[in-house]
Amino acid sequence: MLDASSTLLVRACRREQGDGLPVWFMRQAGRSLPEYKRVREGIAMLDSCARPDLVTEITLQPVRRYGVDAAIFYSDIMVPLKAAGVDLDIVPGRGPVVAEPVRDRAGLDRLVPPEPGDLSFVTEAVRLLVAELGETPLIGFAGAPFTLASYLVEGGPSKDYARTKALMVGDPGLWHDLCTRLAGLSAHFLRTQVDAGASAVQLFDSWAGSLSAADYERQAQPHSAGVLAGVADVPRIHFGVGTGELLTRMGAAGADVVGVDWRIPLAEASARIGPAYAVQGNLDPALLGAPWPVLAERVREVVRSGAQAPGHVFNLGHGVPPDTDPGVLGRVVDLVHAEGPALRAE
Ligand code: CP3
Q: What is the pLDDT of residues 261-319, one digit of tens each?
A: 999 999 999 999 999 999 999 999 999 999 999 999 999 999 999 999 999 999 999 99
Distance between Cα 319 and ligand 1 center (Å): 8
- Cβ neighbours around 275 below 10 Å, total: 11
Note the pLDDT of residue 4: 64
> How far apart, in whole angstroms, are the C-alpha atoms of residue 69 and residue 125?
19
Angle separating helix axes 162-170 and 145-154, nearest 10 degrees: 110
CB distance 37 to ligand 1 below 6 Å: no
Catalytic (active-site) positions: 27, 31, 40, 76, 151
CB distance 321 to ligand 1 below 6 Å: no
Nearest alpha carbon, ligand 1 atom 31: 95
Check whether 318 is labelled as a binding-site residue.
yes
Task: Evaluate if residue 336 carries a pLDDT over 80.
Answer: yes
Q: What is the pLDDT of residues 196-238, one digit of tens each?
A: 999 999 999 999 999 999 999 999 999 999 999 999 999 999 9
Q: Do 281 and 266 meet the contact criterion of CB atoms below 8 Å apart?
A: yes
DSSP 8-class letter at 242: S
Check whether 29 is labelled as a binding-site residue.
yes
Share of the chain above pLDDT 90, in %: 96
Task: Evaluate if residue 2 carries a pLDDT over 80.
Answer: no
Q: Do 130 and 197 meet the contact criterion of CB atoms below 8 Å apart?
A: yes
Q: How many CA atoms lie within 13 A of 52 on its CB side?
A: 16
88-91 and 95-98 beta bridge pairing? antiparallel
Helix (H, G, I), strand (E, B) or coil at 89: strand
CB distance 331 to ligand 1 below 6 Å: no
**For the chain, counts of helices (H) and of strands (E):** 16, 9
Distance between Cα 154 and ligand 1 center (Å): 17
Q: What is the pLDDT of residues 162-198, one digit of tens each?
A: 999 999 999 999 999 999 999 999 999 999 999 999 9
Question: Residue range 113-120: average pLDDT?
Answer: 92
Atom number, ligand 1, closest to the C-alpha of residue 40: 47
Note the pLDDT of residue 122: 98
Distance between Cα 148 and ligand 1 center (Å): 13
**Mutation probe of ligand 1 site: the residue of 90, 94, 206 with most atoms within 8 A of C-beta:** 90
> How far apart, in whole angstroms, are the C-alpha atoms of residue 67 and residue 54?
20
Question: Residue range 253-261: average pLDDT?
Answer: 98
- Cβ neighbours around 238 below 10 Å, total: 31
CB distance 117 to ligand 1 below 6 Å: no
Q: Do 86 and 114 meet the contact criterion of CB atoms below 8 Å apart?
A: no
Question: Residue range 97-113: average pLDDT?
Answer: 96
Q: What angle do CA 109, 184, 133 make, to 5 degrees?
A: 130
Q: DSSP per residue over 95-157, as a string?
A: EEEESS---SHHHHHTSPPP-TTTTHHHHHHHHHHHHHHTTSPEEEEEE-HHHHHHHHHHSS-
The pLDDT mean for the chain works out to: 97
Q: Compute and round to an integer the Cα radius of gyration of the chain.
A: 19
Question: Residue range 67-75: average pLDDT?
Answer: 98
Higher pLDDT, 224 or 116: 224
Q: What angle do CA 185, 315, 189 make, to 5 degrees?
A: 10
Confidence band, pLDDT 50/70/90 cuts, at residue 30: confident
The CATH number of 4-345 is: 3.20.20.210
Peptide bond into 282 cis (omega under 30): yes
Q: Is ipTM over 0.90?
A: yes
Q: What are the angstrom distances between the C-alpha of 266 and each of 238, 276, 304? A: 15, 14, 9
